Structure 1
């Protein structure tokens, strides 16, 4: 149990049997009436975002979420298998829990697996990942004036939009949260 005065970004609350992560909070003390805390909460499982207001000083139930860095090993067809580098324990995580992160994970890549009561909640990738372009059509000479983009298939099978000057075999930096191209990686 914690007080609403103890809220901070990233704290996970257990409200009505569901886990909610605090995305944003603001302590408000109006000139008239009691103080309150306005929060933006994100459901850990579904990703739904809601605004909720608490009276100041009210007790809220916090959840103990274990965020552990793990190594992605392989996909066995039904689950994605991760290994704890400290204990060498292997954990199978369902594809529904991994979600879109699977599009940007390579074998032996480091990810964060969040668990509550030994149940995996979500898989968190780094802010950017470096992947090779498996296939993209060559840019046409006349297309360069607008700085347009073209589709490219990455080595994981994900498809993103890249600038026209990139070719098959180039290594690119991608934001795994939204699949946005961030830049080309130098091979030197």
Structure 2
């Protein structure tokens, strides 16, 4: 692994500290009135998700880890894991549920995701920004309710509950943002 100066680390890099991998969430260069400049990082542990802060003098060396980023197609859930297939080699891998996190509720069979691996084991997953799902249950439209002022609860085909505008009815296909699980728009199909 290459060792680089602490002041060259950027948001999105992955670094190894004491044998553990951390994703860099924030960086800040600090130049106090007295003493030398230092770099301060907000980090998240890739394995456990625990956030921490580290501080290094700008001349100190930090081990930057290079990850492999590939496209995988989602196949099916398997216990506490999710099975994916490499689009190029057709090899299958199991991704632990905690690597995907909360967005796992939006996984659909055949969906293409980016999986980051370190020495062959998955450390991060990125789902598409939106998914299109059908509303299976929604409250009826109430006359006089304006579309801009209020939202009503609805249940999607995958069982997730979201808030939708009053004009959306059961059976309508909608686009949902995977990051926050929010209604984006009515599907164009």
TM-score (norm 1): 0.87
Q: Which residue in the other structure is 2:76 paired with?
A: 74
Q: Which residue in the other structure is 2:31 paired with?
A: 29
Q: Which residues of 2 match residues 53-72 of structure 1 at below 5 A? A: 53-72=55-74
Give, in whole Å, the separation in 1 of the partners of 2:50 and 2:151.
Answer: 31
Structure 2 counterpart of 1:7, from 6, 9, 24:
9
CA deviations on 1:147-183 (whole Å, 9 max, x unpaired) are 2222222222222222222112222222212212222
Give, in whole Å, the separation in 1 of the partners of 2:147 and 2:68.
Answer: 50
Q: Is residue 80–residue 94 contact of structure 1 (8 Å, CA) maintained in 2?
A: yes
Q: Residue 123 of structure 2 aligns to a residue in which SS? A: strand
Q: Residue 120 of structure 1 aligns to a residue in which SS? A: strand
Give, in whole Å, the separation in 2 of the partners of 1:171 and 1:54.
Answer: 50
Q: Which residue in the other structure is 2:171 paired with?
A: 169
Seen in structure 2, the aligned counterparts of structure 1 residues 81 and 163 have a Cα distance that, compared at 3 Å, is: same
Q: Which residue in the other structure is 1:140 paired with?
A: 142
Seen in structure 2, the aligned counterparts of structure 1 residues 145 and 68 have a Cα distance that, compared at 3 Å, is: closer
Q: Is residue 67–residue 113 contact of structure 1 (8 Å, CA) maintained in 2?
A: yes
Q: Which residue in the other structure is 1:149 paired with?
A: 151
Aligned length: 187
Q: Which residue in the other structure is 1:95 paired with?
A: 97
- 8-17 vs 89-98, which deviates more? 89-98
Q: CA RMSD in A?
A: 2.1
Seen in structure 2, the aligned counterparts of structure 1 residues 36 and 105 have a Cα distance that, compared at 3 Å, is: same
Q: Residue 92 of structure 1 aligns to a residue in which SS? A: strand
Q: Residue 102 of structure 2 aligns to a residue in which SS? A: helix
Q: Which residue in the other structure is 1:45 paired with?
A: 47
Give, in whole Å, the separation in 2 of the partners of 1:40 and 1:94.
Answer: 24
CA deviations on 1:62-104 (whole Å, 9 max, x unpaired) are 2232222111112244532111111111112233333322211
- 70-79 vs 19-28, which deviates more? 70-79
Q: Is residue 133–residue 168 contact of structure 1 (8 Å, CA) maintained in 2?
A: yes
Give, in whole Å, the separation in 2 of the partners of 1:77 and 1:134.
Answer: 26
Structure 1 residues without counterparts, runs of 5 or longer: none
Spell out structure 1 runs of 4+ moving beyond 6 A: none
Structure 2 residues without counterparts, runs of 5 or longer: none
